[in-house]
Amino acid sequence: MGEEYCLKCGKPLRKKGAEYCNDCSRIRHLFVQNRALFFYDDRMKRSLYRLKYAGRREYADTFARLATEHLGAYIKGIKADCIMAVPLHKSRLRKRGYNQAALFAKSLSARTGIPFSGSSIKRVRATLPQKGLNPAQRQENLKKAFIIRQNDVESKIVLLVDDIYTTGSTLDALAGEMTEAGAKKVYGLTIAIGRDGGREELLSD
């Protein structure tokens, strides 16, 4: 992204010389670290819309290629045992036909050699779209939304990927479940990320 970023979540920082963004200075996240490829600006909003809703599945492979090129040191340094994707609820998956995060994860797996684990996480509750919810509402919305297959994460370092990071609520919810199931560490990697202190208009999942 080409500027200073939060050492925890990866958001570009508004305050020069700071180590953490406003959110990460006051929130105890359950994941170790997250990094992202792009700011969530108008251009990325259009690109992710095409990936998620217009059937442009090839975008996922492009983003995976860019991730290995620009975040290769981060990915390698994690020493992940597996890559997983934030899942969609079956009703949303049936409607869309594919999970954009899983497409990104599979391509990233093929490029890095880190095994993709596609059936380890299940979204068992159809949550409200995170768009329009404040941080507390987002956390409440995601409670008991996921189940984890213990044998797939126990004693493992997991790289969890998604398309957009805003407050970290989804990553925290899954990292908490994975930790309870025995995961050693959970890291995040997203295609786009909001700015420090911003509340960007999300693409509804």
Q: Encode pLDDT of 120-162 as tens digits.
A: 888 776 554 555 555 555 555 555 667 787 788 999 999 999 9
Residue 96 to residue 176: CA distance in whole angstroms: 27
Neighbours of 53 (CB within 10 A): 12
Instruction: Locate the DSSP E strands across 89-174.
Output: 121-123, 146-148, 157-165
Residue 17 to residue 12: CA distance in whole angstroms: 11
The domain segmentation of the chain, as residue ranges, is: 31-193
Domain 31-193 = CATH 3.30.2420: no
pTM of the model: 0.87
Task: Give residue 54's identity as a one-letter amino acid code.
Answer: A
Residue 10 to residue 114: CA distance in whole angstroms: 22
Q: Encode pLDDT of 25-77 as tens digits.
A: 998 999 999 999 999 999 999 999 999 999 999 999 999 999 999 999 999 99
What is the greatest pairwise CA distance in the chain?
A: 46
The predicted pLDDT at position 80 comes to 98
Q: Among 3-17, 80-94, 96-110, 131-145, name the one with the lowest average pLDDT.
A: 131-145
